[in-house]
Structures are given as structure tokens and as C-alpha cells.
Structure 1
Amino acid sequence: MNISKEAKIILLKSARQSIGSLFGNNEPEKPDYDKFPEFKSDAGAFVTITINKQLRGCIGYIIGQASLFETVCDAAIQAAINDPRFPPLKEKEFDKIKIEISVLGNFTPIKSYDEIIIGKHGLLIEEGGRGLLLPQVATEHNMSREEFLTALCHKAGLYGNYWKERVLKIKTFTAEVFSEDEFKEEL
């Protein structure tokens, strides 16, 4: 998917407004879907919240729940209050958060681990449990392909070396990733 700069800015503002609505602020206005056809997409999306470059919440949907716009707004709220790794975001933290959005591309089954390109591909496994790692996870943590696969197994509730013992049914995907840091002037 090719998301315009203006649409990215709207999605980032709307994600922040959605989180702000938890604290009594106004909810985001629905955009003009005719002007921004990318918002009609049912693409999956994840919203990542950080404070001081430390993860504070990340939740999303592999397949969109409705339109891309609604999926991002809902994922923002879920990342703020329902990521089981963190307590719900507090109002006093709201001004400190940074938001990153990852809009997922198509999922492609792989035949060999050699097909995985670090920094380009995210990974999805639905074996045992479900595990998904966004493409930027590997580069942010300086992971090798092997470390990425081990982390994926952990995410799915499997033991780390599980991928070495079996050929897993893994799908790769790309993501269009953008954050508030990229659009400081426009936000």
C-alpha cells in the first residue's frame, strides 16, 4: 500500500486523538474517504507507543477490523490500555508518548528461512500459538535471522530453538512504517 504523506499525518493525529479520548479529549473526526481512498482499505495495522524510546504498548490487527482509519484508531486505544505487558497508560503519561504506525502488506508463505530479509520482512507464525514480529523489530534490536526466528517462536509461546527442529509454517510481510518523529513540523 502506498499511503500519502497527508494520509499518514491524519492517521498519526487520529491515533493520538483516540488515545486522548480516554482522558476526556475529543475523538478524531472521520476523514473524507473519497479524498483518501487508502483509508477504505482493510489492511492490518499496529500502533506502537513509546516513552523516551522505551516500548509502552503495541497492539494491532493482522487483518483490519473495518477501514484502515478505524483499525488504526482502535489499535491506538488498545495499545494504550490493553497491552498485557504494561499497565494502562495514565493521563500524566499522555504528553510524553510517541506514536508509530505500521500498516501491514500482504502475507506470503515461505519455503525456506533464507527468504527472510532482515529489515524488510516481518514474520507471522500460527503454530502452537500465534506470533507476529514487525519488520522493524529485527533492525531495532540488531537481530540476525536466527535471533529473529527465535524471538518469533517465543512470541508464539514455543521454545526458542523450535524453528531449528522443524520447518515452520511462517509467512513474511512488509509494512509501511511511519511515526510522529517523521512529521514533527506537521503535527
Structure 2
Amino acid sequence: MFQLTESQQQLLLQIARDSVRAYLAGEVLGLPEFTSGVLAEPCGIFVSIHKGDDLRGCIGNVHPVRPLCRSAAECAIAAAIGDPRFMPLTLAELPLVEFEISVLSTVERVENVGEIEVGIHGLLISKKGARGLLLPQVAKAYGWDRERFLQETCWKAGLNSDDWKDGATIHRFRALVFGEKHFHFTTNS
């Protein structure tokens, strides 16, 4: 798993917020172009938006699709307006929310569920065309044990809670998680 400096983390968070602000305001935001370095590398990424303690949107790509910088912008906009669990974010709400980014490692197939470390690994479970993913911080926040984490990921996929035991494909991944809360961002935009 690669690392990002604090300044790179802050830049990605600013790109996420600025991209959503520009989109909601009907403006075009020019993103910085990185031709080398970690911000130019394709990576799996999820952007979560929180309003207080409540999730307000979360969208991402488990597999690398675009350079990290561009993915942060695209996933932030998608989380703000495209998460079907929530109404689209409004420009008036933007100062009330905080952004969190999870940069994912490569996914690894799990042969034995004992390989899953709660709070360290996120899960991707698929079976019969259904697929569910939970980030590592979710299990930690709810205090789940390994079995409950597997069950909840199955539910997220629309599967029965014990489908992970029979014929499901299980993958794990790590995530570098950072958010505006950590950096005490001002959220007045």
C-alpha cells in the first residue's frame, strides 16, 4: 500500500470539495494535471460525505480507473449527487458536510476468512451477479466482529447474511483513509 503525504491528502480533499462546489454552482473546474507521481497513478478510491455523524453519500471505484486526482473529483461529485440512498446534496448544504477519502490497495481474493482483519481490511463479496462492498472503517465504527462484517457485506449486496459461507467470492483490501475532520478544514464553501 502506497502512502500519501499530508499535503497530498489535503490537496485531494480540496479537489473533492472544490469539484462538488463547482458542479453544484454550474461552473467548470479545471483540475491540476499530474503527469507523474502518486496523484497521477490510477487507484481505487471512495469518497464519503458526512453531515455530522450521518453518512450523506459514498461512491467510488474498487479497481483503478483514472488517475487519483481525477478520480477524487469524479467520485466526490457522484457521492454528492448520485448515491441512490440519499437526495442530491445542495449548494446550501456544502458548508455543513465533511469529505473523507479512502484510497484502496489492490483487492486480494480471500481463501480463508481468518485472513480478514476487522478494522484493517475492507470487503468485497460477490455471488450470482450481486456485489457488496464495505470499507474497513465501517466495521470498526460499528464494532463488528469478522462474522458480522461478512454478514453486513452480504446484506449490502442484497444477499442472505450467510451467503458468504456458500459459493460467494470474497475479496479484501486495505485503505488509506483521511478526511477534512482530521485536518480541521474550514467548510464554508
TM-score under structure 1 length normalisation = 0.92
User: How far is the alpha carbon of 1:185 from its aligned partner?
Assistant: 5.9
> In the alignment, which residue of structure 2 is the partner of 1:44?
44
Aligned to 2:148: 147
Work out whether residues 151 and 160 of structure 1, in 8 Å CA contact, stay in contact via their aligned partners in 2.
Answer: yes
Aligned length: 185
Root-mean-square deviation (Å): 1.8
Aligned pair 1:7/2:16, yes or no? no
Secondary structure of the 1:99 match is strand
Unaligned runs of 5+ in 2: none
CA distance in structure 1 between the partners assigned to 2:186 and 2:93 by the alignment: 22
Work out the CA distance in 2 between the residues paired with 1:40 and 1:182: 24
Deviation of 1:125 after TM superposition, in Å, equals: 1.6
Q: How does 1:137-176 map to 2 (within 5 A)?
A: 137-164=138-165, 166=166, 168-176=168-176
Tell me which residue corresponds to 1:23.
24
- The reply to whether residue 67 of structure 1 matches residue 77 of structure 2 is no
C-alpha displacement at 1:23, in angstroms? 2.6
Q: Is the 8 A contact 1:17 1:26 kept in 2?
A: no
**Equivalent AA in structure 2 for residue 50 of structure 1:** H
Would the aligned equivalents of 1:125 and 1:152 in 2 still touch at CA under 8 Å?
A: yes
1:56 and 2:56 aligned = yes
For 1:95-114, list aligned pairs within 5 A.
Answer: 95-114=95-114
| TM-score, scaled to structure 2 | 0.91
- Matched residues in 2 for 1:13 and 1:159: separation? 39
Aligned letter for 1:24? A
Structure 2 contact 16–73 (Cα < 8 Å) conserved: yes
